[in-house]
Amino acid sequence: MEVMEGAPDPEIVVNDWGVLRRARARGLPVVLGRGLDRSVRDPRLPDVGPEHLGGDAPPPSWKQASHGASAFRALMKRFGIERIETDVPLQGLASPPPGGPAMTAHVPWGMVASGRVCLVNAWGKPASLRFVAPKHCDAPCRRFTIELRAPWSRREGGAGALPMVDAGEILPLTAVLNRRRNKLPAEGADAAPRFWQKGNTHFYKLEGEALRRALDWVAQTERVDRVVVAPELPM
Amino acid sequence: MHILSPVASPEEVEPLADGGADELFCGIFPTEWYERWGRGAWPNRRGPGPANVESVDELGAIADAAHARDRKVFVALNQQFHPDDQAEFLLELARRIQDRGAADAFIVTDPGFIALLKQELPDCSIFASTVSVALNSDSVKFLAELGCDRVILSRHLALSELAEIRAGAPEVELEVFLLNDNCYFEEGFCSTTHTMPGFGVYCMTPWELQITRDGADGAIVDPEERARWDFLVEEHREYLRHLAHRGHGDSRAKLPLGPCGLCAIPELIDLGIHSGKIVGREANLYRKIRSVQAVRHIRDTYLEGRDAKATKAAAGELRGDLRGCASGYSCYYREARDRDLIPFPTRARGPRRPPRKQR
């Protein structure tokens, strides 16, 4: 923050309320990061229909986010925050109410979840130091990417094709063994949804129709005046 | 340090209070909410069912029973964020709860809603949920300045970090996790939903993994390195199994074998942590009581004057699963383990050597 104080026209993107408090104490302009713009970014949602919800319709809140809520906007105004970053979920976003803060949209990678436990950071460590918040991190994830696939999901069949775990449907053992890790079918030859992990964070990727829909949303949403395009998985 | 127990019905209050619970928390999923938004949207972090009561009257009955035993009741309204229509509904619900005296504090996540609640109901007590993600003393102060009387800290903080937070924000009540449930991700930074029946929990998905080197290198072809990654992936699965209560097993003492912080109780008491939380609103009463009894036994052992090592030994004996404690995968506070008390695995675990033809 000391460096930022001397920088011309600085912006600090915060994903932690404590950092926000410190930045404000120094009078630095703050942008709320996408970690604090809460929304449902579960990459399984595009496959979910009423049949998975006992006949209930998916609720509108699945296409809403903090940035559209009046109370959250009032909080931002109270703290002098004029910009918020957001992810466009795979299931899409409704247009937020008029007014509110300026917005930055991230494409094509969206954050599913993050934490302090990191698979890659556990590399080469004894059991007592594996899968625990590290004291420091030398970012081994700069060198590795993990691709995740959920073999139980078959997106091309639509929502009805998703097996219901409660219904007791069990994948044949051979189907699992044939997809031994590190020998996944090539891209395009596998209908299972693909997600990515970089360090301790899971991401989805906006592609095809989802990307077009996201860009339409960006174009139609007056407050979005900035788009961050990350050609590679963000770190 | 108070013992905070989950509760799900008025009938559970007496046995939990008698078992040693100093405070109780529950959730509410009103019928009107369900009729309006269905089962896809939740007012708190648990869905309709045994983890929630369905009406203010039922919540009031819990509070009456608790107050009669000089215990307090906190109610969770801690969904990640609340769109306007839901915030309006919850504000009205909070007003009814307060008018009825049906809760002593609201557990809330959304800082916008915290500010709104404090503005509209200035006399109410608000606790910042762990989903608010307080990882440092400045976050704790931020939430306290919004009006929170207590901050429930993240599940993944080390004891040394708790000490820093305690020192940095001494005026705020702190609550930590002690028993029964953990998250793989930081809960407030997890944007997935548990609301889909039949889908299970996102982080427990049996993923197929493919690990590649970035750049031109691509696939990992060296058999030795592949073996090390395979081993790490297996260990990762084992870690997730520990988070999932190792198949929902019980110890010999009929304690759930889920995540545990029993042997950290001496340090937590010394730090001045106000409350230790037992997770599992949806659990059956027997599990709740056994959990409360376990925490009370260890807390009282320390408070009665036994030293930390003896208390940790009592915790290990009570849990009855020292081999399970060896990896630390079930620990909330891994550094609290006393290495003299925990046996190391008899066989060192590590990557298998690849077959000779691949070397």
Tell whether the model's pLDDT for residue A19 goes beyond 90: yes
Q: Which residue has the higher pLDDT, A106 or A143?
A: A106
Closest CA to A119 of A181, A34, A165, A44: A181
DSSP classification of residue A165? G
Instruction: Mark yes or no for CB contact A130/B235 under 8 Å.
Output: yes
Share the mean pLDDT of chain A: 83
Q: Are B279 and B4 in contact (CB under 8 A)?
A: no
Name A161's bridge partners. Answer: none
Residues contacting A220, CB < 8 A, separation 6+ = A95
Residue A164 pLDDT grade (very low, low, confident, very high; cuts 50, 70, 90)? very low
Q: Which residues of A touch B189 (CB under 8 A)?
A: 15, 35, 111, 113-115
Closest chain B CA to residue A143 = B214
Q: Do A38 and B220 touch (CB under 8 A)?
A: no
pLDDT reading at A189 higher than 70: no
What is the CATH architecture assignment of B2-187+254-336?
A: Alpha-Beta Barrel (3.20)
What is residue A187's predicted lDDT score, i.e. its pLDDT? 63
Cα of B239 to nearest chain A Cα, Å: 7
Chain A contact present for B214, CB below 8 A: yes
Do residue B202 and residue A64 have CB atoms under 8 angstroms apart?
no
- Judged by CB atoms closer than 8 Å, whether chains meet at A131 and B193 is answered as no
Verify whether the Cβ–Cβ distance A131 to B192 is below 8 Å.
no
For the cut 70, the answer to whether the pLDDT of residue A200 exceeds it is: yes
Residue spans per domain, chain A: 33-229
Low-confidence ranges of chain B (pLDDT < 50): none
Percent of chain A past pLDDT 70, that is, above it, reads 82
- What single string gives the DSSP state of each residue in B26-94? EEE--HHHHHHHGGG--SSSS-SSTTEE-SHHHHHHHHHHHHHTT-EEEEEE--S---HHHHHHHHHHH
**Is the model's pLDDT at A146 over the cut of 60?**
yes
What ipTM was estimated for this complex?
A: 0.91
Distances from the Cα of A228 to the Cα of A14, A31, A215, A224, B38, angstroms: 16, 14, 12, 11, 35
Question: Using the beta-carbon criterion (under 8 Å), do A71 and B328 form an inter-chain contact?
Answer: no
Give the A:B interface size as CB pairs under 8 Å: 251
Q: What is the pLDDT of residue A185?
A: 64
Which residue among A20, A58, A184 sits closest to B210, beta carbon to beta carbon?
A184
Write down the pLDDT at residue B327: 83
B183 touches chain A (CB under 8 A): yes
Does A151 or B301 have the greater pLDDT score?
B301
Higher pLDDT, B248 or A114: A114
Task: Judge: A62–B87 Cβ closer than 8 Å, yes or no.
Answer: no
Cβ neighbours of B151 in A, within 8 Å: none
- If you average pLDDT over residues A69-98, what whole number do you get? 95
Q: State if pTM tops 0.90.
A: yes
Which range, of A126-135, A190-199, B65-74, B176-185, averages the lowest pLDDT?
A: A190-199
Residue boundaries of the structural domains of chain B: 2-187+254-336, 203-239+346-358
Per-residue pLDDT, averaged over A40-66, amounts to: 86
pLDDT at residue A170 is higher than 50: no
- pLDDT digits over B314-323, tens only? 999 998 887 7
For residue B308, give how far its alpha carbon lies from the nearest alpha carbon of chain A (Å).
21
| pLDDT of res. B146 | 97
Q: Is the minimum CB–CB distance between B205 and chain A shorter than 8 Å? A: yes
